[in-house]
Amino acid sequence: METMPSYCFYDGKRLRDSHYDTNSDVLIDDALFTISHERFLNEGFHKLLKAMLKHAPTRNGQGSIAQSIVFFRFMEEELYYDLVEVDKIEAGSGKDKNFADRRYTSLGHELDGLKNHYLAAVIFPFVNTVRREVPPNHCWHPDRTKKQVERATRVSKIEEIIPRDNYRCCATGRMDIDVALLPDQKKREVLSKEVNVIGGYDDLEVAHIIPFSLNNFDEKVESQKLRAQCIWTALEDFAGMNLSPLKGQGINDMGNLFSLSPLAHKFYDRLLLSFYPSPEFGEGHRLQVRGDRACLINIRGNVKLSVNADWLAIHHAICQIVYEAGLTKEVAKIAALDREREEIVDESKEIGRKAKEDEKAKKGGMWKLPSGSNT
Q: Give the span between the Cα atoms of 57 and 288, in whole angstroms.
A: 16
Residues 31 and 105 in one domain: yes
Query: Is 344 a member of any domain?
Result: no
Long-range contacts of 65-68 (CB under 8 A, 24+ apart): 65/31, 65/118, 65/237, 65/238, 66/22, 66/27, 66/28, 66/30, 66/31, 66/32, 67/19, 67/20, 67/22, 67/27, 67/31, 67/140, 67/141, 68/114, 68/138, 68/139, 68/140, 68/141
As a whole number of Å, the CA-based R_g of the chain is: 26
Looking at the predicted structure, is the pLDDT value of residue 208 above 80? yes
Confidence of residue 227 (pLDDT cuts 50, 70, 90): confident
Residues 176 and 278 in one domain: yes
Q: Are 18 and 24 in contact (CB under 8 A)?
A: yes
Report, as an integer, the average pLDDT of 242-253.
94
**Which of 83, 111, 126 is the last residue before a domain boundary?**
126
CA 200 distance to own-chain centroid: 32
Q: Are 331 and 322 in contact (CB under 8 A)?
A: yes
Q: How confident is the model at residue 186, as a pLDDT? A: 57
Residues 58 and 201 in one domain: no
Determine which of 169-178, 182-191, 320-329 has the lowest per-residue pLDDT on average: 182-191
* Beta strand ranges found along the chain (DSSP E): 175-176, 201-202, 205-208, 257-260, 273-277, 285-289
Confidence of residue 224 (pLDDT cuts 50, 70, 90): confident
Q: Give the span between the Cα atoms of 311 and 246, in whole angstroms.
A: 10
Query: Is 226 a member of any domain?
Result: no
Q: How confident is the model at residue 138, as a pLDDT? A: 57
Q: Are 238 and 122 in contact (CB under 8 A)?
A: yes
Query: Is 270 a member of any domain?
Result: yes
Looking at the predicted structure, is the pLDDT value of residue 165 above 90? yes
- Kindly state the percentage of the chain with pLDDT values over 70: 69
Domain count, the chain: 2
**Which of 73, 102, 126 is the last residue before a domain boundary?**
126
Query: Is 96 a member of any domain?
Result: yes
Looking at the predicted structure, is the pLDDT value of residue 14 above 60? no
Collapsed DSSP state (helix, strand, coil) of residue 113:
helix
pLDDT tens for 128-154 read: 655 556 665 555 454 555 678 899 998
Residues 122 and 23 in one domain: yes
Pick the more confident residue, 360 or 24: 24
Q: Which domain holds residue 297?
A: 158-221+241-326
Residues 166 and 109 in one domain: no
* Angle at the Cα of 159 from the Cα atoms of 158 and 164, rounded to 5 degrees: 90
Residues 165 and 45 in one domain: no
Pick the more confident residue, 197 or 111: 111
Q: Give the span between the Cα atoms of 178 and 33, in whole angstroms.
A: 55
Query: Is 135 a member of any domain?
Result: no
Residues 82 and 194 in one domain: no
What is the full DSSP assignment across 222-266? HHHHHHHHHHHHHHHHHHTS--GGGSGGGGG-GGGEEEE-HHHHH
Query: Is 300 a member of any domain?
Result: yes
Q: Give the span between the Cα atoms of 272 and 332, in whole angstroms.
A: 10
**What amino acid occupies position 170?**
C
Residues 46 and 93 in one domain: yes
Q: pTM higher than 0.95 for the full model?
A: no
pLDDT tens for 261-288 read: 999 999 999 999 999 988 776 778 999 9
Q: Give the span between the Cα atoms of 76 and 230, in whole angstroms.
A: 25
Q: How confident is the model at residue 13, as a pLDDT? A: 46
Contacts of 159 (CB under 8 A, 6+ apart): none
